[in-house]
């Protein structure tokens, strides 16, 4: 269980949250003139303690929280005569002062994430991705208005954009709205009107959190020259196949599709020598090694191909070379796309339900759209997990897919043995092939367009959330985008911190609300073990992810402490509000009964959390 491998980080994260919370109570109590008797991090026996002035500071052995004890702050006990006369006693302070002291803990939990997110943005975002267009996805809104690689976007609906984040932020606001786009091409300003496509972001459908945002489908990084080769074209005849990556043209290295097109055009009617790396991927890879397989897809030896001279302005297309937008990357062994559809690395997706596909992103978006319509339904959050799965599976209708497969030499030999009857078919593709009347002719020709049925099988994970992730990714990589210095680091960091804080607070508030309404299962609630798991997962993604986790956990802690539950800060604030209205505190008996009720609730919650955490441990 890998989360136990990082206990020090877990203690550090949890300790920071507790210290900041308790320090809020402590510093405001001192400011309000209340005597603080103890400031403790942890519970149980004392590990180390020291005294300064009236306050004993301690670190205790059980790092499950902390406390600040003030003179006369026990709501369940009457004040003795000496404390009742002491002006520094908590209960002797006006209601507004006591309220500030109690509220300070949760408020400091809201200050911490703002500081953490602000600092993280300053450190990790001193450079930003520029607004230079790298890749325009075919069939998307950006492609429809003719945006090209190398264009620099300057304004969106009159708002200046200085980074790609600014561009995404402004476009996201305008889903389905005609939007004026100002960009530069070769230094000359141009203006076009684009209508961002509406895309559904499902943050947490089980609590009704869905977001409709605009996208124009472009990337800041230029696509590398991984090619789709048209069958029976000059490039095909020269030995190039779909999925190969061009490295050089007439000895000149090419790093992007744009460079490839310019190099071919500059050949000036002369024969062309192309150096390329053939696609070298196994049919199926383990999920854990997918990224490594993707990185190594073109790391084999290089080959050369001789291409005939072509008209400069049509060089790539007339040679039979197309950008590999529709090419399938490494295929996860045992996935639906592997076992059901029979996709292989280098396959090209041509059509879905009879309509041409512009890219792999297009295929994924169209496949998931009916399921997203279920997720955004207002009724989704009140359905049981079984009902959710039924509705989602009903929306996941079979889709007709047309797949182009191009053979390589080793595969051709293997499939000839198959169609001649000396071997038995085992995969979806092989079974389809041997059923074709002209199977041998297809193998000898070296390519075919195969119909396939593609139907998503919807599964709910252990938290009853639908897993809509497709094991389908493009073979085409993109180069590192252009970076620019952050022109306004302070303002940018403030904006990032505010947006992240608002997003986190919204998710947590809505989740808590739906938890009490019964729309979120109690098994979602986690404790120390869940925090350890989250910390371990964040640590695997680096310091920036850990800082973001600290921010979200701190927001969570602040909101939970403000709930009107006796014995937590929100319960104390509720009684102070009653006291402010009645002009006198609630009776001691009332406060004691409320405390017992709160203790019972917290005890039950503790048992539920422990049960959930134990289940998480056993399920590892």
- Could you read off the pLDDT of 55-92 as tens digits, one per residue? 999 988 877 778 899 988 776 666 666 777 788 988 88
Distance CA 495, CA 487 (A): 14
Give the mean pLDDT of 311-336.
82
* 322-331, 571-580, 588-597, range with the lowest pLDDT: 588-597
Between 529 and 406, the more confident residue is 406
The structure tokens listed for 31 are 């400011």
Give the mean pLDDT of 99-107.
93
Could you tell me if 463 and 523 are in contact, meaning their C-beta atoms sit under 8 angstroms apart?
Answer: yes
Q: How many percent of the chain have pLDDT more than 70?
A: 89
- Identify the burial level of 163 via C-beta atoms within 10 angstroms of its C-beta, where 0-12 means exposed, 13-18 middle and 19 or more buried: buried
Reply yes or no on whether the pLDDT at 613 is more than 70.
no
Q: Indicate the residue among 219, 247, 271 that finishes a domain.
A: 219
Residue 417 covered by a domain: no
396 and 248 fall within a common domain = yes
139 and 232 fall within a common domain = no
- Identify the burial level of 299 via C-beta atoms within 10 angstroms of its C-beta, where 0-12 means exposed, 13-18 middle and 19 or more buried: exposed
**Strands in 317-446 per DSSP E:** 321-323, 348-352, 355-356, 399-406
Residue 429 covered by a domain: no
**Three-class DSSP category at 302:** coil
- 120-131 per-residue burial string, b: 16 or more CB within 10 A, e: under 16: bbbeebeebbbb
Q: State the CATH number of the domain containing residue 398.
A: 2.30.42.10
- Identify the burial level of 229 via C-beta atoms within 10 angstroms of its C-beta, where 0-12 means exposed, 13-18 middle and 19 or more buried: buried
The number of C-alpha atoms within 13 Å of 130 and in the hemisphere containing its C-beta is 16
Could you tell me if 113 and 20 are in contact, meaning their C-beta atoms sit under 8 angstroms apart?
Answer: no
* Residue 619 pLDDT class (50, 70, 90 cuts): low
214 and 244 fall within a common domain = no
pLDDT given at position 327: 95
Give the mean pLDDT of 262-276.
84
Residue 437 covered by a domain: no
Reply yes or no on whether the pLDDT at 144 is more than 90.
yes
144 and 232 fall within a common domain = no
Could you tell me if 260 and 222 are in contact, meaning their C-beta atoms sit under 8 angstroms apart?
Answer: no
Residue 435 covered by a domain: no
Could you tell me if 20 and 551 are in contact, meaning their C-beta atoms sit under 8 angstroms apart?
Answer: no
* 128-132, 234-238, 285-289, 615-619, range with the lowest pLDDT: 615-619
Pick the most confident of 38-47, 227-236, 596-605: 227-236
457 and 310 fall within a common domain = yes
85 and 178 fall within a common domain = no
Residue 231 covered by a domain: yes
Residue 530 covered by a domain: yes
- Cα diameter, the chain: 104
Using alpha carbons only, give the angle 30, 105, 71 rounded to the nearest 5 degrees.
Answer: 40
* 155-169, 437-451, 465-479, 548-562, range with the lowest pLDDT: 465-479
Distance CA 147, CA 183 (A): 9
Could you tell me if 109 and 561 are in contact, meaning their C-beta atoms sit under 8 angstroms apart?
Answer: yes
112 and 147 fall within a common domain = no
Residue 395 covered by a domain: yes
Q: Indicate the residue among 184, 219, 254 that finishes a domain.
A: 219
The number of angstroms, rounded, from the C-alpha of 150 to the middle of its chain's C-alpha atoms is 27
Residue 55 covered by a domain: yes
342 and 239 fall within a common domain = yes
Reply yes or no on whether the pLDDT at 3 is more than 50.
no
374 and 245 fall within a common domain = yes
pLDDT given at position 1: 41
The residue whose two tokens read 């992240």 is 500
Q: Indicate the residue among 219, 239, 261 that finishes a domain.
A: 219
* Residue 319 pLDDT class (50, 70, 90 cuts): confident
- Identify the burial level of 85 via C-beta atoms within 10 angstroms of its C-beta, where 0-12 means exposed, 13-18 middle and 19 or more buried: exposed
Give the mean pLDDT of 444-466.
83
- 352-387 per-residue burial string, b: 16 or more CB within 10 A, e: under 16: beeeebbbbbbbbbebbeebbebbebeebbebeeee
118 and 263 fall within a common domain = no
453 and 556 fall within a common domain = no
pLDDT given at position 405: 94
**Strands in 509-554 per DSSP E:** none
Q: What's the structural domain count of the chain?
A: 3
Could you tell me if 6 and 57 are in contact, meaning their C-beta atoms sit under 8 angstroms apart?
Answer: no
* pTM assigned to the model: 0.79
Distance CA 226, CA 278 (A): 10
Positions marked catalytic = 22
Give the mean pLDDT of 286-314.
80
Domain that holds residue 278: 227-407+446-467
Distance CA 360, CA 228 (A): 13
Phi and psi at residue 450, to the nearest 5°:
-110, 130
Q: Which residues contact 549 (CB under 8 A, 6 or more apart)?
A: 13, 534, 535, 538
Among 436, 189, 450, 515, residue whose Cα is nearest residue 425: 436
DSSP 211-237: EEEEE--EESSPBP-BEEE-TTSHHHH
507 and 462 fall within a common domain = no
């Amino acid at each position: 269980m890998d989360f136990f491998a990082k206990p020090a980080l877990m203690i550090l994260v949890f300790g920071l949250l507790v210290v900041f919370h308790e320090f809020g109570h402590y510093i405001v109590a001192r400011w309000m003139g209340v005597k603080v008797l103890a400031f403790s991090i942890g519970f149980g026996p004392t590990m180390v303690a020291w005294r300064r002035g009236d306050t004993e500071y301690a670190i205790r052995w059980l790092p499950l929280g902390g406390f600040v004890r003030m003179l006369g702050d026990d709501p369940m006990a009457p004040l003795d005569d000496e404390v009742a006369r002491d002006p520094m006693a908590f209960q002797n302070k006006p209601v507004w002062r006591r309220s500030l002291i109690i509220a300070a803990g949760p408020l400091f939990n809201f200050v911490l994430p703002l500081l953490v997110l602000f600092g993280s943005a300053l450190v990790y975002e001193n450079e930003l991705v520029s607004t230079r267009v790298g890749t325009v996805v075919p069939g998307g809104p950006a492609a429809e208005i003719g945006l090209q690689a190398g264009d620099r976007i300057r304004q969106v609906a009159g708002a200046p954009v200085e980074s790609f984040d600014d561009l995404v932020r402004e476009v996201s606001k305008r889903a389905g709205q005609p939007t004026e786009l100002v960009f530069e091409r070769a230094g000359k300003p141009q203006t076009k009107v684009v209508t961002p496509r509406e895309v559904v972001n499902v943050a947490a459908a089980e609590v009704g959190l869905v977001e409709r945002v605009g996208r124009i489908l472009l990337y800041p990084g230029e696509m590398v020259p991984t090619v789709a080769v048209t069958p029976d074209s000059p490039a095909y005849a020269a030995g190039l196949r779909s999925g190969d990556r061009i490295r050089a043209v007439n000895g000149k290295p090419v790093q992007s599709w744009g460079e490839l097109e310019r190099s071919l055009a500059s050949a000036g009617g002369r024969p062309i020598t192309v150096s390329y790396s053939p696609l070298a991927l196994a049919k199926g890879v383990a999920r854990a090694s997918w990224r490594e397989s993707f990185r190594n897809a073109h790391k084999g030896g290089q080959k050369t191909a001789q291409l005939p001279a072509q008209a400069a302005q049509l060089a790539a297309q007339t040679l039979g070379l197309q950008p590999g937008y529709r090419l399938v990357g490494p295929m996860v062994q045992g996935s639906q796309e592997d076992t059901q559809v029979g996709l292989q690395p280098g396959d090209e997706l041509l059509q879905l339900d009879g309509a041409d596909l512009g890219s792999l992103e297009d295929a994924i978006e169209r496949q998931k759209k009916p399921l997203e319509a279920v997720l955004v339904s207002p009724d989704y959050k009140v359905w049981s997990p079984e009902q959710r799965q039924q509705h989602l599976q009903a929306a996941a209708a079979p889709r007709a897919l047309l797949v182009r497969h191009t053979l390589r030499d080793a595969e051709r030999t293997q499939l000839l043995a198959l169609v001649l009857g000396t071997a038995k078919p085992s995969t979806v593709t092989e079974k389809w092939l041997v059923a074709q009347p002209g199977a041998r002719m297809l193998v000898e020709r070296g390519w075919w367009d195969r119909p396939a049925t593609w139907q998503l099988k919807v599964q709910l994970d252990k938290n009853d959330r639908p897993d809509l992730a497709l094991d389908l990714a493009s073979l085409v990589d993109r180069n590192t985008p252009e970076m620019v210095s952050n022109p306004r680091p302070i303002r940018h960091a403030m904006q990032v911190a505010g947006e992240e804080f608002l997003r986190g607070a919204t998710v947590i508030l809505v989740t808590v609300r739906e938890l009490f309404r019964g729309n979120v299962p109690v098994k979602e609630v986690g404790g120390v073990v869940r925090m350890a798991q989250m910390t371990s997962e964040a640590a695997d993604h680096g310091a920036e992810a850990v800082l973001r986790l600290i921010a979200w956990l701190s927001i969570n802690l602040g909101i939970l402490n403000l709930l009107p539950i006796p014995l937590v800060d929100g319960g104390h604030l509720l009684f102070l509000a009653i006291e402010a209205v009645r002009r006198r505190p609630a009776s001691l008996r009332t406060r004691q009964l409320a405390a017992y009720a709160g203790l019972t609730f917290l005890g039950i919650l503790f048992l539920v959390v422990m049960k959930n955490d134990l289940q998480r441990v056993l399920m590892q």
